[in-house]
Structure 1
Amino acid sequence: MNNLDFIENKKSSFGDGSTFRGCAGNERRRGGLFSSFSQTIPSALVCVSQIIKKTVLVIFLMAYALLSFSQTFTPKTFKGKEGNLPYQILLPENFSESENYPVVLFLHGAGERGSNNEKQLVHGSTLFLNEENRNNYPAIVIFPQCPKEDYWANVDIQYGPLGRQFEFLEEGEPTVAMSLVLQLMDSIASRKFVNNEQIYIGGLSMGGMGTFEFLARRPDLFAAAFPICGGGNPNSVKKYAGKVDLWIFHGAKDDVVFPHHSVDMALALQKTGATPRFTLYREANHNSWDRAFAEPELLSWLFSQTKRNQK
């Protein structure tokens, strides 16, 4: 198949004669009460000292992480028609409103849903925080967070003996979360420092499903997309085939979202004459995003796509 690659995995007591287990786990026998105390006090001091050292280290690491976090992604809240949407935004280093920047929208998976505006950064954020990537591809990166009770796509999910079965709806109103993200993106795209010829979307699992549906709903908004272990309704590809370049990823051993969902989308695109890139990792399960994020050509491919060079 043209442009489709299949990649193989490139206790303690203080009585007489009792045993005391110190912090390091070494046992000591005591001959009497005073002997017990004389041996226990130094051990206790050592234990306290170790606890203090570990506590200081943990506090230091937490403070360092928070400091690093504050210098990278910034938590925001978008106020939309249906409510509020938490999101994180990463601006290019030395950001200037007089410049034009690409925008990357990334949709997380179902496990990262919530309202703390942090969990969505678990997967994928380090790719864009990498210093070399930030230097080579200065861009505005947006990670919205879907509420726990919502979903990035219109899909019916059935649970049975064969696993999860997904039925992707072709029509219908967008979910509230989806609608809020589209409003957010319209707001972002209206800024003068945004290069509207280079707005991209990607996502994993539920976010991969959302990626396909966002393309169907707004094919003129995005220049390229990279859905990972997702799926969609093959009938919807006609709305964006030839307008948006895609690189689709999936794991052949995925037992959460079966790989045929991505295969079906790639084949449907090919039938329209489009030439999507498709990578099926022979040994990967659902976490094929690890392999996808490690693709050396992913970002160079992504940022080379513009609306102007679409067919």
Structure 2
Amino acid sequence: MEIRNKDLLMKYIAAVWVVVLAVVMAGCAGMPGSDVAESAAARPLPYRQFVVGAERPGPFALVLFLHGAGERGDDNAAQLKHGSAELIGYCRKNGIKAVLLFPQCPRDRWWAGKEPPEGGSMLTALEALLDAKTEEFKPDRVYAVGLSMGGFAVWELALRNPERFAAVMPVCGGGDPARAAKLTGLPVLAVHGSADTVVPVRLSREMVRAIWNAGGENVVYQELPLCGHDAWTPAFRCADNWKWLFAQQNQQNQ
């Protein structure tokens, strides 16, 4: 997938916030789940939960979606700004039975890195949330998707526990290439804009190259020409990316 008209995308982004909130919040009505989880950092971790296709037979898929730095806060809404409508819409349209989790990072914290030592780790809080929802819904596969700050967290969650996930999709993020050999068995779809001036594209390149060099074969890398930091709009609007994600299975289920 290539982005040939960056200006058109940026005009779209200017209006997407209002549209997404209307669509997503309407879809939230009547769905089971909680809005706040107790985190290991001794403070609440707000999240939105959407259950799609509960009436369908078979096990759930579980998706953890991590927002970027600009959506931090405590309103339990801003984290839905990017990607939620596309993910929910894809699941509904394609009959996917899924639990979709959208936690919100506090304004003074980061999903990964830059943690005050006395405050605990947001990554630990996310892992606790995944543990609780895995126990509740018994999914047969778990995915992690994230953009920018969330993309960094997706890489780190995968490095900490690659066996937890069936696949991950980090968008305009970065990780630790020195540990990339841990991901040789994990399907990864990494997306980055070639003209990103916020998170250098080399960070995704280095992670992907390190996995390939370690023998990993199920890594897909999309570098979007003419695209700056906002690689998430084209990435999440591309139905083939969601199709790829949900096609991946945990190794023990294959």
TM-score, with structure 1 as normaliser: 0.68
Which of 296, 299, 304 aligns to 2:239? It is 296
Displacement of 1:194 in angstroms is 2.5
- What SS is found at the alignment partner of 1:136? coil
Matched, 1:235 2:178: yes
Which of 129, 137, 140 aligns to 2:99? It is 140
- Residue 165 of structure 2 is matched in structure 1 by 222
Which of 79, 92, 113 aligns to 2:52? It is 92
CA deviation digits over 1:278-305, x for unaligned, max 9?
0000011111101101223112111111
CA contact 1:87–1:117 (8 Å) conserved in 2: yes
Displacement of 1:94 in angstroms is 4.0
Alignment of 1:83-232 (within 5 A): 83=42, 84-95=44-55, 99-130=58-89, 133-154=92-113, 176-191=121-136, 193-196=137-140, 198-232=141-175
Displacement of 1:258 in angstroms is 1.0
Displacement of 1:134 in angstroms is 4.5
CA contact 1:127–1:133 (8 Å) conserved in 2: no
| Alignment partners' CA distance in 2, 1:220 and 1:233 | 18
Matched, 1:9 2:9: no
CA contact 1:241–1:272 (8 Å) conserved in 2: yes
- Residue 247 of structure 1 is matched in structure 2 by 189
CA RMSD of aligned residues (A): 2.9
- What SS is found at the alignment partner of 2:239? coil
Structure richer in helix, relative to its length:
2
- Residue 30 of structure 1 is matched in structure 2 by none
CA contact 1:154–1:174 (8 Å) conserved in 2: no
- What SS is found at the alignment partner of 2:243? helix
4+ aligned runs moved over 3 Å, structure 1: 62-69, 71-75, 93-96, 131-135, 172-175
| Alignment partners' CA distance in 2, 1:103 and 1:65 | 18
- What SS is found at the alignment partner of 1:263? helix
CA deviation digits over 1:240-271, x for unaligned, max 9?
222x1001000001111111110011101100
- What SS is found at the alignment partner of 2:143? strand
- Percent of aligned pairs with the same residue? 31
CA contact 1:9–1:281 (8 Å) conserved in 2: no
CA contact 2:183–2:211 (8 Å) conserved in 1: no
Structure richer in strand, relative to its length:
1
Report the number of matched residues: 236
Unaligned stretches of 5+ in structure 1?
1-5, 11-61, 157-171
Displacement of 1:131 in angstroms is 6.3
Displacement of 1:174 in angstroms is 10
